[in-house]
Structure 1
Amino acid sequence: MSDAARLRTTTARFVASHSVLTLDARHPYVAKSLVDAQEMHRTVMSGFRGWVDDGSSDARAQMGILSTWSINLKEAALVLVVQSKVAADWGQLPNGVLREAPHSITVDRTFRIGDTVGFRAVVNPTYSKRQTAPGREQTRGRRVAHTNPDGVRRWCARHFGDGHGSVGGTGGTADPGTISVRMLPTVSSSTSHKGLKITRAELRGALTVTDPTAFVTALSDGVGHARAYGCGLILVR
């Protein structure tokens, strides 16, 4: 194998745009986003009008949009981080929503086998629960959420396993016992997606890169379910 070919298999480059927005949680527009997951999705998507045809069913995926948010109730501040393949324009947000001008950066990093990176992610930790009806074979499992830290660490073991056959294919491995897990409030929607309920957990820890190409894909595409609703974005440092 040539040196160039070997380099391609042991390194991978990640490029994305990150927007960091600090919003006034007391503003009615933001307050509505906090109580309805679909409204938060609309807030995120409002920064990307015109990039794809109106009504595209996979607009978020086409633009590589992932997001995560945190709330400081004492300061009434919502911090929203949005990752995308294309540049965002937050000029459509209502007056008074932003506490300060959005901070935008271009992330450009090369990862190598053996690199260890600190990470934070908010995930929707679910598993497939198989059901067996009397006298019948097992039916296809329904998705069930882990609701405690031990269950979430089992989710971590599946997605951040040894890099050989883990379901997430994240290209990064971590000892689940070393990952800090904090259960977050469930988010839901009572409007256009009535009945939507998303269990969330915040993960903090370190990952060792085992497959740079798969790792960059996980950073770009996210991990797990509910990626349209603030879950799945892996932030590394």
Structure 2
Amino acid sequence: MYLSKVSFKHSQFAREQLIKQLQNGAYTSHQLVWQLFPDQPDKKRDFLFREERIGASIGFYLLSSEPPSAAQELFDVQTKPFNPVLTQGMKLGFRLTANPTVSKKLNPDDKRSKRFDVMMHAKKQLQQQGETDKKRIQQAMTEAAQGWLMDEKRQRDFGFRIDIVPDIVASEQHHTAKKGIKGSIQFTSVDYQGVLTVTDPELFKAKLYEGIGRAKAFGCGLMLIRRI
């Protein structure tokens, strides 16, 4: 695997594309990142990316099975191999942009579950109970997002353990259009930051490569790690 840092060049063309991206939302980022693989137009997506705000501009971190093209009119690209050596009990600082969702049955007799955005579900539940205090609603939404990542089964499935509740650095509700789909796609992205302990090195590495959670086409799922 390869980890890349991608930033817009200082050119008129790059500025025009940046303005379009800022106006059109998350799916435009996905289309821009695809340009880093010009020889693979029909290949299934096998990369994860994370958008980073840099002042008035943006950049991306990109994890991919093949190195992105460095011959770019639009981007400056810095790439290095990514194959972390992990051991059980290792502590790592992490940053993660994820789309926290859960599947629930609305009624016990339902055969199918419905997928919920955990933050918006928490907000809706409080509002239905008559809560109007914005601070209390926001606190409940934050706790719901933290609870999603702190879920013990989810952590076992991901091969790590988090002992201290992670910080929510930012969260955003997105409404974005996608080619071939009527209307807009709605999802929430949450930026987590914290410390984890590796419990299953091979499983954790597989999840790093696969991505965590849903909405990967919209810049969610990539976890950045560092030794501490």
User: Is TM-score (shorter-chain normalized) higher than 0.5?
Assistant: yes
SS at match of 1:218: helix
**Could you tell me how far apart the structure 2 residues matched to 1:140 and 1:68 are?**
32
Q: Does 1:145 align with 2:117?
A: yes
- 2:149 equivalent in structure 1: 156
Select which of 170, 174, 184 maps to 2:162: 174
The answer (yes or no) to whether the contact 1:131–1:139 under 8 Å persists in 2 is: no
The answer (yes or no) to whether the contact 1:168–1:224 under 8 Å persists in 2 is: no
> 81-90 or 165-174: which moved more?
165-174
**Could you tell me how far apart the structure 1 residues matched to 2:16 and 2:118 are?**
32
Report deviation, 1:166. Answer: 3.1
**Could you tell me how far apart the structure 2 residues matched to 1:22 and 1:185 are?**
22
The answer (yes or no) to whether the contact 2:165–2:194 under 8 Å persists in 1 is: yes
- 1:226 equivalent in structure 2: 215
Q: Which amino acid aligns with 2:117?
A: A
**Could you tell me how far apart the structure 2 residues matched to 1:205 and 1:180 are?**
6
Q: Which amino acid aligns with 2:50?
A: T
Q: So what's the TM-score if we normalise by structure 2?
A: 0.78
SS at match of 1:137: coil
Q: Does 1:126 align with 2:108?
A: no
Report deviation, 1:55. Answer: 3.4
- 2:187 equivalent in structure 1: 198
Q: So what's the TM-score if we normalise by structure 1?
A: 0.76
The answer (yes or no) to whether the contact 1:123–1:225 under 8 Å persists in 2 is: yes
- 2:8 equivalent in structure 1: 23
- 2:125 equivalent in structure 1: none
Output aligned runs, 1:34-113, within 5 Å: 34=22, 35-51=24-40, 54-56=41-43, 59-61=44-46, 65-72=47-54, 75-94=55-74, 98=75, 101-113=76-88
Report deviation, 1:88. Answer: 0.3
Aligned residues: 199
Alpha carbons of 1:23 and 1:39: their partners in 2 closer, same or farther (altered >3 Å)? same
